[in-house]
Amino acid sequence: TKALFFVVVLVFFSRRCGYSKAKQDPEEEKMHFHNGHIKLPGVRTYIDPHTYEDPNQAVHEFAKEIEASCITIERVIGAGEFGEVCSGRLKLQGKREFPVAIKTLKVGYTEKQRRDFLGEASIMGQFDHPNIIHLEGVVTKSKPVMIVTEYMENGSLDTFLKKNDGQFTVIQLVGMLRGIASGMKYLSDMGYVHRDLAARNILINSNLVCKGGKIPIRWTAPEAIAFRKFTSASDVWSYGIVMWEVMSYGERPYWEMTNQDVIKAVEEGYRLPSPMDCPAALYQLMLDCWQKDRNSRPKFDEIVSMLDKLIRNPSSLKTLVNASSRVSNLLVEHSPVGSGAYRSVGEWLEAIKMGRYTEIFMENGYSSMDSVAQVTLE
C-alpha cells in the first residue's frame, strides 16, 4: 500500500530529486518525450512509477541516493507493511545534522516487496509542496534498504487530536484543514489521486503543520466503493471526512457501525451529523464535499479559497450548528420510524448507533418515538 503523508502538511517528494529539470535552451522543443511520457516545460505532472519498464529507473530518477553512513538510527517508532519505521538523524555533507524518519525493508524480502517498497519513494520524490511530506532520499546500495523522510514530531493527526481534545481554537483547527486542502490541491493539479486520505494517515509536526497517507471504507466516496472509480472528486469526499475528524478531535467516523452498515447508510443518503460546537460554515462545507453527485462537490482550489475566507473573517466561524439542527441531521434520509418499533428514543438511537445523542434529543423535546416519527415525516 502507498503510505502518503501530509504536515498539517502532506509529504511525498524530494525538492532536490530528478524531477526538476536543468535550464533548457530557448530554441529547444517546447514538448518532448521522456521514458514514453510527454512532458511540457513548466508543467509538473505525476508519472506512475508502474509505467516504467524498469522500476529501478523510476527510483533513480525521482529519489536521491543517500550513503548509509550519513544515517544514524536511534529508535523504532512503529512498524509498516515492509518493515520497521524508526526515528534517527541525517548528516549530509556541508549541512547540519537533522532529525528524520527512516523506513527499513525487512530481511528476507522478495524482489516484488523491494519494488513495491521503493515504489513509494518513486511517488514521494515527485512532489514539492510545504504540505506534503518531504522525501530526503533512499538507501539502495547497501542493506537494509531504506526510505528517509522528514520527521514529524507529533505523529498521526488523529492520535494527536485525541491527546489534545479541546485544546485548540477553531482558527487553529481551520488552519490545519487549510494545510491539508492546500496539499490536496497540489496533488490534484499534478494529476495524482490520493485514494487514502484520512486523519490517521496525516502526520503533524511541532508547528501544527499536517502532511498525508491510506484509506478504508468509511472515508471512501460511494462511487469509489461501488465502481472503484477514484478521482480528485472522491478525494474531496474523503477530505470532508477528515474535516469531520479534525473538528471532532479524532472521533472515529460512523463510530461502531460496520463497514457494510456505513456503505448502506451512505447509499441511502445518510451523512455524519455535525461535530459538537462546529461552526455552521464548516459543517456546510463538509456536506458539500459529501454530495452524492461527484460533479457537485467543490474542487480543492475552491475549498482552499473558502477556508482562506473563513480564516480572514473569524467572526464567520462564530455561528455554530445548533442542537436542533443536529437532531434533524441525524434523521435526514432515514426511513420514517414507526412509533411501535422501539420502546424509547434511547433504544432507537442505540439501534442506529447514535446512542451518544440521546441527551441532545431529550433537551430538544424529542422525548417520545411519536415526536421523532413526526420529524422524519416532515
Q: Report pLDDT for 60.
A: 92
338-348 mean pLDDT: 68
Question: Rounded distance, CA 151 to CA 205, Å?
Answer: 8
List the domain boundaries for the chain. 49-150, 157-324, 342-377
For 31, the 3-state DSSP assignment is coil
> Does residue 196 have an active-site annotation?
yes
For 7, the 3-state DSSP assignment is strand
Instruction: Read off the DSSP letter of residue 67.
Output: -
Question: Rounded distance, CA 312 to CA 175, Å?
Answer: 11
Dihedral angle computed from the Cα positions of residues 14, 15, 16 and 22, in that order, rounded to the nearest 10 degrees: 130
Buried/exposed code over 122-148 (b: 16+ C-beta within 10 A; e: otherwise): bbbbbbbbebbbbbbbbbbeeebbbbb
Question: Which numeric CATH code is attached to 342-377?
Answer: 1.10.150.50
Q: Which three cell numbers stand for residue 199?
A: 486523519
- Which of 188, 240, 197, 237 minimizes the C-alpha distance to 216? 197
Residue 144: is the preceding peptide bond cis (ω within 30°)? yes
Rounded to 5°, the CA angle 169-171-174 comes to: 115
Rounded to 5°, the CA angle 87-92-98 comes to: 40
Which class does domain 49-150 fall in?
Answer: alpha beta
The fourth-level CATH superfamily of domain 157-324 is: Transferase(Phosphotransferase) domain 1 (1.10.510.10)
| Residue 53: burial class (beta carbons within 10 Å; 0-12, 13-18, 19+) | exposed
Quick: pLDDT tens for 157-174.
999 999 999 999 999 999
Give the model's confidence band at 38: pLDDT under 50 very low, under 70 low, under 90 confident, else very high: very low
Q: Report pLDDT for 215.
A: 39
1-30 mean pLDDT: 37
**pTM of the entire structure?**
0.77
pLDDT of residue 360 exceeding 70, the answer is yes
Q: Report pLDDT for 13.
A: 32
Q: Report pLDDT for 351.
A: 67
Give the model's confidence band at 359: pLDDT under 50 very low, under 70 low, under 90 confident, else very high: confident
53 Cβ neighbours under 8 A, 6+ residues apart: none
Q: Regarding predicted confidence, which is higher, 66 or 155?
A: 66
Instruction: Exactly one of 116, 128, 158, 196 is catalytic; name it.
Output: 196
Q: Which three cell numbers stand for residue 295?
A: 460533479
pLDDT of residue 332 exceeding 50, the answer is no
Q: Where are the beta strands (DSSP E) in the chain?
A: 5-7, 10-11, 32-34, 37-39, 71-79, 84-90, 98-104, 135-139, 146-150, 203-204, 210-211
The side-by-side arrangement of strands in the sheet containing 71-79 is: 71-79, 84-90, 98-104, 146-150, 135-139
- Which of 166, 181, 158, 156 minimizes the C-alpha distance to 276? 166
Is 214 annotated in a binding site? The answer is no
pLDDT of residue 331 exceeding 70, the answer is no
